[in-house]
Amino acid sequence: MSAITHHTPDAMLAAYAAGNLPHAFAVAVASHVSLCTQCRVALEAHQSVGGAILEETGAVAVSSNLKDDILAQLDAPFTPEPVYDRKGIYPGPVMEAMKGRAPRWKKLGLGVRQDILSEDANGSVRLLYIPPGQAVPDHSHSGLELTLVLQGSFSDATGRFGVGDIEIADEDLEHTPVADEGDACICLAATDARLRFRGLMPRLLQPVFRI
Residue 108 identity: L
Give the span between the Cα atoms of 119 and 123, in whole angstroms: 6
* Spatial CA neighbour of 81 closest among 33, 36, 128, 39: 33
Window 33-52: contact mask with Zn ion (x via CB under 5 A)? ---x-xx-------------
Given the rule CB under 5 A, which of 6-14, 59-67, 150-158, 195-203 is the region that contacts Zn ion?
A: 6-14
Q: Closest CB to Zn ion among 39 and 125?
A: 39
Q: How far is residue 128's CA from residue 130's CA, in Å, rounded to a whole number?
A: 6
Choice between 114 and 153, CB closer to Zn ion: 153
128 CB contacts (<8 Å, ≥6 apart)? 112, 113, 114, 136, 147, 185, 186, 187, 188, 189
We find the least distance from the C-beta atom of residue 32 to Zn ion, in angstroms, to be: 6
Q: How many angstroms separate the CA atoms of 70 and 57, rounded?
A: 17
Give whichever of 39 and 148 is closer to Zn ion, judged by the CB atom.
39
CB under 8 Å to 87, separation ≥6 — which residues? 95
In angstroms, give the least distance from the CB of 150 to Zn ion. Answer: 14
Q: Is 7 in the site for Zn ion (CB under 5 A)?
A: yes
Q: Which is nearer to Zn ion, 39 or 169 (CB)?
A: 39
Question: Nearest approach, Cβ of 19 to Zn ion (angstroms)?
Answer: 19
Judged by CB under 5 A, which stretch of 2-10, 23-31, 54-62, 137-145 contacts Zn ion?
2-10
Number of residues that bind Zn ion (CB under 5 A): 4
SS3 of residue 34 by DSSP = helix
Q: Which residues bind Zn ion (CB under 5 A)?
A: 7, 36, 38-39
